[in-house]
Amino acid sequence: MTRAMERVDAADVENSVTENAQTAAWKGDFGREYSDRNTFDVDMLNSLYLKNYGVTRSHINEKILRHVPNDSSFLEVGCNTGNQLLLLQQMGYANLAGVELQPYALELARARTRNISLRQGSALGLPYEDAAFDVVFTSGVLIHISPADLSHAMEEIHRCTRSYIWGLEYYSAQPTEVNYRGREGMLWKMDYVGSYLERFDDLELVEELRIPYLQNANVDTVFLLKKRGGVSAEIL
């Protein structure tokens, strides 16, 4: 048995152990409905960001990813139906992979994408070797992981990245639970950059953008962390 196969087997066992209320909901009808509501082509995705923030997702990516070499390999944790991966592919990034918990979303992602490696798996037990990718990222995924499981997910993301951790998540200075579509225990907002930096001594902040919503008081954080490197931060 190869080392890679050993890692996948270990992750499969870990996934079965870490099944919880959130993962069960996302694997079921709740997750299917989310995927149906949130499947966009690149133009639709950019239009949605322009409406919500006054800036496109392409612009946000260009600003953050200027720090990252063009030939870098990317893993999206919680890729859903592939929106973000399709955008990255259109921007010229070719070495792309995604992992998704929801079987229905993964089926849609496979139908929508070409030349992108896709696998089923959980953020709580990623089916990849250590340091397998240059960049591991999330987009609106950590917010749906309970505070009790968040450190586990961050450890897996940290384990699988060679250099960068990139994210876009809801921001709050203090951990705050938010009722999500009539459900409790499904969405939180917090300082995810602070959580990463407190947990891992080898991470440094490359850049953070705080992006306010145009139509309400919410704020998103877009951040890039590196296992080595300098620090920058600004308000978009």
Quote the domain boundaries for residue 88. 3-235
pLDDT in tens, 70-82: 999 999 999 999 9
Q: What is the chain's mean pLDDT, rounded?
A: 91
Q: What is the mean pLDDT of residues 55-81?
A: 97
pLDDT score of 54: 98
pLDDT tens, position by position, 119-149: 999 999 999 999 999 999 999 999 999 999 9
Instruction: Give CA–CA dist 74/93, Å, rounded.
Output: 8
Question: Any idea what the CATH number is for the domain that residue 143 is in?
Answer: 3.40.50.150
Q: Which token pair is 99?
A: 């992992």
Which pLDDT band, with edges at 50, 70 and 90, does 21 fall under? confident
How would residue 35 be classed by pLDDT, with cut points 50, 70 and 90? very high
Whether 93 contacts 134, CB under 8 Å: no
The mean pLDDT value for 106-126 works out to 97
pLDDT of residue 18: 59
pLDDT band at 228 (very low <50, low <70, confident <90, very high): confident
156-171 tens-digit pLDDT: 999 999 999 999 999 9
In this model, does residue 83 exceed pLDDT 90?
A: yes
Average pLDDT over residues 187-207: 97
Residues 6+ apart with CB under 8 A from 150: 142, 195
- Domain count for the chain: 1
pLDDT value at residue 19: 80
- Tell me what the mean pLDDT of segment 15-40 comes to: 86
Residue 183 pairs in a beta bridge with: 180
What is the pLDDT at residue 36? Answer: 97
What Rg do the C-alpha atoms of the chain give, in angstroms? 17
